[in-house]
Structure 1
Amino acid sequence: MGDDHAKRAFIGSFTSAGGRGISVAAVDRDTGAPSVLASTDAVTDPSFLATGRAPGTGEPVLYAVSETSDGAAAAFAVDEDGAPRLIGDVRPVDGSSPTHLALAAGHLLTANYGSGSVTALPVQDDGSLGPATGVLRHEGSGPDAGRQSGPHAHQVLADPSGNWVLSVDLGTDSVRVCALDPATGSLRPHTEAALRPGTGPRHLAFHPSGGHAYVLNELEPTVTVCRWDAVAGRLEPLGETQVLPHDPAEDPGVRTYPSELVVSRDGRFLWTANRGHDSISVLTLDETAEKPVLAAAVGCGGRWPRDLTLDPTGQWLYAANEHSGNVSWFAVDAETGIPAHAGSLDVPAASCVVFA
């Protein structure tokens, strides 16, 4: 992808709620403003996307989950200005309702919320996907009978060393660490970090130093700070920090379900998207990276921010507001980390934004 393509973003949305599927957008480098060039609804409910390169050709490839009860994943070629184009077959993930995906060791991994599992699919030379080679099924439950009656894998990602795969499970209040065999695509459990019961962990982000990770909880509006040992493959919870400027117990009428967190590239700030409160929280990080401090919360520019993304320059922050059907973008203050609303783009049932 050339220099011009560095200004491309991809937006996922729920087709079952009136979304366009996957849209490709040009992004103005000076203003941060995205404008949709083309869309495709080739897969149902592509709620989360990831970008990569075809191993054999180096060409850019876009990957998407299909967040349906059957559960699938697909690969797309990215042309200059046209809609993403399917490569190969749409592959079943042998799990239900995949909500997240990531690339690791020559495979695409999906976190399957409905079935509480993680699936590995090999990436072929042209970027297309082969049939699933491994499925790791989580076990366990949590105290929230409505949301935690069984496992619900919500995110999967590789650690910064590339040696481990972590899966965040909302249903079991834990983060699992496993090893992915690059040759066979099998997933082997290694360790499991238990978080406070009932917090409902949703997504995790690493500090740029690689020694710490932050887990955003959905059922309680907190971030759990963890120490990460990449040699031992072990995640150690250290403590929690509130992401709202008030105690949720003081306002029981409006419940907040945090969705996504982003850490700045210099490791000074952490942002969270908060559904219900419909805000973006700013937390500052000190040299230890272990003591986030809530500094501010600003409106997300819509309703129900499902995703939060920092652009490659670190200057712009994007919120995919699912219920209001728009993507808002914000200029990030380099000194304070506080985002200032810069504009909004109509995207029905928006669910995520990723950059090439």
Structure 2
Amino acid sequence: MPPQPRQPVEHTGRTAAASGLARRSLIGVLGAGVLGAASGIPASGLPASAARAVPPPRRPERADLRPVFLGTYGNGIVSCTYDTTTGALTRRGGFPAVTDPSFLAVSPDGKVLYSLDNGGRQGAVRAFAIGAGGALTPLGPAQSTGGANVTHLSVHPTGRHLLSANYGAGSVAAHRVNADGSVGARTALVQHTGSGPDPGRQEGPHAHQIITDPRGRHVFAVDLGTDKVYTYRLDPASGALRPVSETRSVPGAGPRHMVFHPTAPYAYVANELNSTVTVYGHDPATGALTRGESRPTVPGGSGAAVRNYPSEVAISADGRFLYLSNRGHESIARFAVTDDGSGLRLVDTVPSGGSWPRHIGLAPSGTLLFAANQYGRTVGVFTVNRDTGALAPSGPPFTTSSLGCALPI
């Protein structure tokens, strides 16, 4: 019998027995933006007053350097720059006074960084102005998300609302974004209900991600505990989240994170508990999802020797390749997107450059991919072949802290 896999106690990066110490899950993006997908929406950004209020970021020292932010467990936010050709990382500083900012997102105009903060009984979200070399200046106070163990956040494409998912509480929230980019009052808090067949992981709702579709019409919350993806409509005036529909996954699949195809009416959901990825048809007009085929995320599928837990999905800007991080198999899977978006074919996997790749992020250029290895405390850096989608390691992994997220901008 194969050894039992390490189960994450996700706010510390330590492991827990499969019998299950309480799981503090965290993570996911600016919709497909953090994942590198082209949204197809003009980045309208914040209102003009915000551009005046937030100090504009200065470019790094060289034109071939760009900022990348690392969300950690125990070491706050780490600021780096990356070489736009090789992906080589150089640490510049950061902001340590934030607790387990395991997921990060950036405003549409690229001037404000948003992070989680799990330092209290309830989760919170924070904002930082981005300065020269990735220097971070706090903007306003942290704002409560209304639930325990906030795990994911994303910015609405208008830049006027911040969305978050509370894993521990099984709820999702929305906050208004002020003119200066700081986080304003909470405008919505919606509680999920239900459970799934896995008593250790699905005893109740566990909202794991919240994102907006490529056209900005609907908001989607992925809930691992209830085996559902929830569709909402965000009221632009009040900031309320209005329930629209619910779509069930395969029972016990444990849907974790999703990404939309940039142009075709499909979405792809990584299922943490049964090591699959599922294609969903997407009706842009109604927000309805229709479950399609599921594919194993590692060669050999369920017969693989190591228990595997998929975590993040990313898609190329042209929609031809899907990438998925495998925890346990310790790899990044490359899928070819087939049949005009309705199908997936596993092409290969490459080692992630460390242990427990919790998150992957494509650079805006699409030519680099960064893997945040939570247990390995490394960032694996890969070049991306634009024609074939193939990943190739670019130098040794970058050693850092226990990671939840790598966000290149």
Under a length normalisation based on structure 1, what TM-score does the superposition of the two structures give? 0.94
1:304-346, Cα deviation, whole Å (9 max, x unpaired): 0000111011111110001010111001122322211113111
Tell me what 1:176 maps to. Answer: 230
Deviation at 1:67, TM superposition (A): 3.6
| 1:116 and 1:152 in contact (8 A); partners too | yes
Q: How does 1:168-247 map to 2 (within 5 A)?
A: 168-247=222-301
Cα distance, 1:59–1:266 mapped onto 2, change above 3 Å: closer
1:61-115, Cα deviation, whole Å (9 max, x unpaired): 0000124542010001111036312110111111111111011151101011000
Which of 320, 330, 334 aligns to 2:382? It is 330
Q: Secondary structure at the match of 1:81?
A: helix
Tell me what 2:314 maps to. Answer: 262
1:266-306, Cα deviation, whole Å (9 max, x unpaired): 11111100001100111111242111001101100100000
Which of 116, 126, 131 aligns to 2:170? It is 116
Deviation at 1:7, TM superposition (A): 1.0
Deviation at 1:59, TM superposition (A): 7.2
Deviation at 1:42, TM superposition (A): 2.0
Amino acid at match of 1:202: R
Tell me what 2:24 maps to. Answer: none
Tell me what 2:403 maps to. Answer: 350
1:162-220, Cα deviation, whole Å (9 max, x unpaired): 11100000001110000111111111110011111100000000111141100000001
Which of 136, 141, 149 aligns to 1:97? It is 149
Cα distance in 1, alignment partners of residues 110 and 87 from structure 2: 25
Q: How does 1:117-132 map to 2 (within 5 A)?
A: 117-132=171-186
Tell me what 2:131 maps to. Answer: 79
Q: Which runs of 5+ in 1 are unaligned?
A: none
| 1:66 and 1:97 in contact (8 A); partners too | no
Which 4+ residue blocks in structure 1 deviate beyond 3 angstroms? 1-6
Cα distance in 1, alignment partners of residues 404 and 293 from structure 2: 29
Q: Secondary structure at the match of 1:324?
A: coil
Q: Secondary structure at the match of 1:248?
A: helix
Whichever structure has more strand as a proportion of its residues is: 1
Identity %: 42
1:312 maps onto 2:371 in alignment: no
Cα distance in 1, alignment partners of residues 393 and 110 from structure 2: 34
Deviation at 1:3, TM superposition (A): 5.3
Tell me what 1:14 maps to. Answer: 73
Cα distance in 2, alignment partners of residues 59 and 271 from structure 1: 24
1:149 maps onto 2:203 in alignment: yes
Range with greater deviation from structure 2 (282-291 or 235-244): 282-291
Cα distance, 1:336–1:36 mapped onto 2, change above 3 Å: same
Q: Secondary structure at the match of 1:95?
A: coil
Q: Which runs of 5+ in 2 are unaligned?
A: 1-56
1:212-265, Cα deviation, whole Å (9 max, x unpaired): 1000000011111011101011111111011110133452xx211111011111
Tell me what 2:219 maps to. Answer: 165
Which of 70, 88, 96 aligns to 1:41? It is 96
Tell me what 2:18 maps to. Answer: none
